[in-house]
Amino acid sequence: MSSVARVTTITARSEKSFEDAVRVGVERANSTLRGVSGAWIKEQKLHIQAGKVAAYQVTMEITFVLDD
């Protein structure tokens, strides 16, 4: 059986950690897309306020298999 997948870019943010930002992004993708099968972290970015880390942001490519 063959399949076709699509890739979409999303950005997620967390005040806790990069890992939490990834979790938030994957959970959100799973709630709106069917057939999520993988993710590639393209970029990690810190948001700094008053000299301290205020938030962690990730940009990721989410792969999902299209319905037949």
pLDDT, residue 68, reads: 75
Q: Choose among 53, 57, 47: nearest CA to 25.
A: 57
Picking from 55, 37, 38, the residue whose alpha carbon sits closest to that of residue 46 is 55
By percentage, how much of the chain surpasses pLDDT 90?
93
> Mean pLDDT over all residues of the chain?
95
For 5-65, the fitting CATH number among 3.40.50.620, 1.20.1250.20, 3.40.228.10, 3.30.1660.10 is 3.30.1660.10
**Pair of tokens at residue 65:** 């298999």
Cα separation, 60 vs 29, in Å, equals 11
pLDDT at residue 2 above 90? no
- pLDDT, residue 67, reads 84
Which pTM was predicted? 0.88
> Quick check: 58 and 25 in contact, CB under 8 A?
yes
